[in-house]
Structure 1
Amino acid sequence: MISFTPADIDAIRLSARVAVAATLVSLPFGVAVAYAMSFLSFRGKTLLEVLLNLPLTLPPVVIGYLLLLLLGKRGWLGGLLDAAGIRIIFTWYAAVIASAVVGFPLLVRSIRIAMESIDGRLIQASRTLGARWFDTLATVILPLSLRGIVAGSSLMFGRSLGEFGATIIVAGNIPGATQTMPLAIYDYASSPGGEQAALTLCLVSAGLSLAVLFLHEYVGSRMGRRD
């Protein structure tokens, strides 16, 4: 019989909370970056693209360590936050930041593909009719990119649910505070007699991931039929 301890329930709730927060926080930035990469020309665009895709190739532990150097008390940003009485490292906020950094390239890539597939004549027509860039963005680009936005958001949510390496470096593994499902599974798997509990959380994680993927496919197919 499947049973959960209070720590398990906290880990499941925290994982969902971190994934939702990371997706919502990243979404406006993802749309802005995808728009810039799709429609703007500027110096350093190639460098920006390389930096955007870097989290896809770097080990998550490396990303976590770099974030630790940045947000720690001795880091330039962490020092400023510490002086202001704001603590990020070893809190659930750090887990959100780690998940956002790791999943951001997936979000941007999906939105960018959708934006680049828009018929340029539609954008040109809106501008010919006197629409400002913001009006074109709100009435043409974003509605036609909605499928990519949904796809990117679901991919990032799923990636955030499974984030481990960067999270354990910057957020730690504190039960009830920063311990997400992957961290709880790691604890159980490395403890004698914890195999059953680890398997139970693995099933929960797999179930949530499947639900996200099914929702992604369902919304995508509905939007495809509507188009």
Structure 2
Amino acid sequence: MKATVLVCAGLLVFSGLVIGQNSPLPLISSPFSPINAAPGGPALALTVNGANFTSTSVVHWNGSPRPTTFVSGAQLTASVSVADIATPATANITVVNPPPGGGTSNVAQFNVTTEVSGSAYKTVAMTNSYLPNLSADLNNDGKLDIVAISFNSSPGQLRVTLGNGDTTFQPALITTIENAPNAIAGGDFNQDGKYDIAIANTNGTVSVLLGNGDGT
């Protein structure tokens, strides 16, 4: 904060008062749009959803900035080049808010891969409307698990479905969320080697659930 103080006829006059406002820490939630890209495909506009985005937020592809358009505090679009998706790969997507404050978001992955045929899909039944979701290895067994939230319901639910590694899944683990959730993101937030979950709620709060390394 910087200010100039002028003394005029016994009066104190403040001018040039500048108060800085810190940028928030951005948060990415799944899914992207499009959800993946085919190797060798054309350039695309990648829609990134989340929270705490600003007009100065920049989407990074594997640590390198990409031309970014601010849509809202919950959405950005980034220009992905032909070279970015030339070969099969998994790209690490982050959002960076500049200082003061700000920082780098959690990492979300975007797959450059050939789509499988419809016959290869399997369905996991869910009793409620769960959106959006993410996949991660929550119990450190080397197999992807599914994480979803009950969208905009209060109280909300977090549903963890542990994968068996063969496209089948174990019975879901349900955790009640006090607020109404509308976005989800994951990462190791306390650097203990265990996957954690962050949930953005409709009342403007964020709930952080620290993982135990076993899916709970």
TM-score where L is the length of structure 2 = 0.25
Higher helix content, 1 or 2: 1
Q: Which has the higher strand share?
A: 2
Give the structure with higher Rg (CA): 2
Of structures 1 and 2, the one with the larger relative CO (CA 8 A, separation 6+) is: 1
TM-score (norm 1): 0.24
